Amino acid sequence: MAVTIKDVAKKAGVAPSTVSRVIADSPRISIDTKKRVRKAMKELGYHPNVNARNLAVRSSKAIGVIMPSSAETALQNPFFPEVLRGVGTVAHETEYSLYVSTGGNDQQLYEEVKRMVYGHRVDGIILLYSRMNDAIMDFLVEEKFPFVVVGKPYENEASITYVDNDNISASKEVTRHLIDFGHKDIAFIGGTTDLVVTTDRFEGYKQALIEAGIKVREDYVINDEFNRTSGKKAVEKLLKLKIPPTAMVITDDMMSLGVINMLEEFGLDCPEDISITSFNNLYLSEITRPPLTTVDIQIYKLGIQGAKCLIEQLQTKDEPAKRVIVPFSIKYRSSTKRFEP
Amino acid sequence: MAVTIKDVAKKAGVAPSTVSRVIADSPRISIDTKKRVRKAMKELGYHPNVNARNLAVRSSKAIGVIMPSSAETALQNPFFPEVLRGVGTVAHETEYSLYVSTGGNDQQLYEEVKRMVYGHRVDGIILLYSRMNDAIMDFLVEEKFPFVVVGKPYENEASITYVDNDNISASKEVTRHLIDFGHKDIAFIGGTTDLVVTTDRFEGYKQALIEAGIKVREDYVINDEFNRTSGKKAVEKLLKLKIPPTAMVITDDMMSLGVINMLEEFGLDCPEDISITSFNNLYLSEITRPPLTTVDIQIYKLGIQGAKCLIEQLQTKDEPAKRVIVPFSIKYRSSTKRFEP
DNA sequence: CCTTTAAATATAAACGCTTACATGTATATG
DNA sequence: CATATACATGTAAGCGTTTATATTTAAAGG
């Protein structure tokens, strides 16, 4: 069996509690004993058992990261590794460990969260998505378990700490850009409608159109998963319309990629025939043909801020609910063009 | 405080040990009591405390995933999320949790591994890289801690369980493809030389050249990190040579991406002016211009197999060291072309 | 030199679970 | 009917920490 606090105590000729205090660097222990104990620890190669510690202090110094059900598909979109990267950085600095969800379906993910929470596996949770009527978020609220969400909560907005972009403005701005370029038939390709990010971005799109006196056409609005295939399918649908759009506001780079591919299959050129704007500024948005005009939402920073908020919440009791808005910027590249009939 | 096994016991009118046995679904408990106890658990909303359990059984039902130091940079290359995805799938099926390293530098990563191991945070570890004289691997061997590596161990190959591709053959085949196309001046752009994957792929490249009676030129060999910038820098160097290569064997898609970008900056066309082959078959290799001829190493499967091996190892004592070779296949796309002087 | 007070360390009771062993009860055996 | 044999459950001792409380020791005060 591994060396325990008792072995160290024996070797150093002190009580286990003293060793424990040395570990915690308590001021109640004299310098001398500290030295002696530390020496004993070194010599025996002592390392604390986290489980025992966690049990005693009822905490785990670990945070759980929850990706949309089936991390399997989630990890396909570089958005998640990138937030994870941000979260990891902060976790590392603050010496927290990272537990990541492994997915499956909604039900399984829910079970996993319960295990994390009830099982005291993690001290807090970062939710990497936000949608309406989410059982997991409800559960966390109900249990009063510390968590922050990356994205805007569907309800209880005021009492939940979250980090987000100003998606409405971003979407509005990008849509206006298209309008400024003379486009009037502008489609919207968004994520599934249960996601708050989708509704926000749609809202911005709508506002821009309305302000420009353009009617919002239902058949110009398509919602689906954030992936390539969805982008492709969306194009197929849109091009079938009597009046196909001349521009598209797309809310995810992976989707945009699919859109570009499909346009090509249809023999259409972007931006010559159709202009598109995108969201996320994944590195891939620079390498597509054409490079995408996209909203840089600073994914990495979202992760950093999310983790920071959570850890503050964990460390100071009764930390008030916070909201942090990470600024976006639009990367103008070459996927849009002035409309010439 | 949360509801414990004792509360359940009291409510069901049994001893705590009985409750524990019900949880473990021991055959020693009668159906009747099981029902009664389960009912009590439901009613009280009981959930086991993992820390207590782990402490008692000295295990954690969690596996650690170690990415190269600084997950920060690691996560930039889609390779890692993709293995993670595979690992996650298996972890999920077998109800293991996933602990991921958060990086920093080599030293910090080493500390983190020690914390995982000594602290009983995880039952086993998956190493997502393999390089020579790696302190972490040495440590795990030394401690006889269960682990598997994704990649080929630098030493103790026979006694360590690992999953890998046949990188030598893959590289050889892809190089031969270039040779068959009439290329003679073929450069090699690989990862850092401490990585086993780099030496293996270089070996295959070398063998192919030698078998074709082509001399291996030192100035045609460049080694650097697996990322875009490295690819760019490599091109800059190679094009400065008196006899610049007409083809390149590149060992990573991200690098290839950099290569393509830089060639373009130099006004060179791939494959018209220079042919390249790549490795990994990341989704991005389909969307570059031109789409890359690349080795599909089946990253997801590497993850699946790695996790499977580890879990087998954990579940059956004295599981022998295994080696699993995930087959590769070459995706012939359009980044290579017959050499026409 | 005895009493106070402060500083340093020890004792022991948690934390919530598992499990070897002990105990009790019902059934089968001769 | 006494005894052996299962079967079902209870008892209690860990697992390795932390921490409130108690105890010892040393310094200070009168």
Bridging pattern class, strands B124-127 and B62-66: parallel
Contact A89 B78 (CB under 8 A): no
pLDDT of residue A73: 67
Range 207-226, chain B: CB under 7 Å to any strand D atom: none
pLDDT digits (tens, 9 = 90+) for B65-114: 999 975 556 788 999 999 998 999 999 889 899 999 887 788 889 988 98
- Domain limits, chain B: 62-165+300-327, 167-297
Range 20-79, chain B: CB under 7 Å to any strand C atom: 20-21, 23-24, 46-49, 52-53, 55-57
- The number of CA neighbours under 13 Å toward the Cβ of A236 is 7
Does the C-beta of A102 come within 7 A of strand D?
no
**How many angstroms separate the CA of residue B71 from the nearest CA in chain A?**
7
Contact A81 B85 (CB under 8 A): no
Contact B85 A75 (CB under 8 A): yes
Rounded to the nearest 5°, which phi and psi values hold at A64? -95, 140
Contact A259, A235 (CB under 8 A): yes
In B121-195, which residue ranges form alpha helices assigned H by DSSP? 135-143, 167-180
DSSP class of residue A334? S
pLDDT of residue B70: 57
Edge-to-edge strands, sheet with B329-331:
B221-223, B186-190, B247-250, B275-279, B293-296, B329-331
Q: Quote the longest CA-to-CA distance of chain A.
A: 89
Q: Between A and B, how many residue pairs show a Cβ–Cβ distance under 8 A? A: 132
| Fold of domain A62-165+300-328 | Rossmann fold (3.40.50)
Contact A183, A246 (CB under 8 A): yes
Residue A235 CA from chain centroid, whole number: 27
* CATH topology agreement for domains A62-165+300-328 and A167-297: yes
Comparing every residue's Cα with the C1' atom of nucleotide D6, the nearest one is B28
pLDDT of residue B324: 98
Across all strands, nucleotide nearest B3 (CA–C1'): C16
d(CA B161, CA B310): 8
> Which of B79, B95, B121 would you mutate first to test chain A, the one with the most A CBs within 10 A?
B121
Q: Does A167-297 carry CATH code 3.40.50.2300?
A: yes
Range 22-41, chain A: CB under 7 Å to any strand C atom: 27-30, 32-33
Distance B143 CA to D2 C1' (A): 58
Spans of chain B below 50 pLDDT: none
d(CA A66, CA A162): 14
Spans of chain A below 70 pLDDT: 1, 70-73
Average pLDDT for chain B? 93
**How many angstroms separate the CA of residue B300 from the nearest CA in chain A?**
10
pLDDT of residue B1: 62
Three-class DSSP category at B257: helix
Whether omega before A27 lies within 30 degrees of 0, making that bond cis, reads no
Architecture of domain B62-165+300-327: 3-Layer(aba) Sandwich (3.40)
Structure tokens at A307: 């983790």
pLDDT digits (tens, 9 = 90+) for B223-274: 999 999 999 999 999 999 999 999 999 999 999 999 999 999 999 999 999 9
Contact A55 B52 (CB under 8 A): yes
CB-closest option in A88, A97, A119 to B50: A119
CB-closest option in A84, A114, A261 to B75: A84
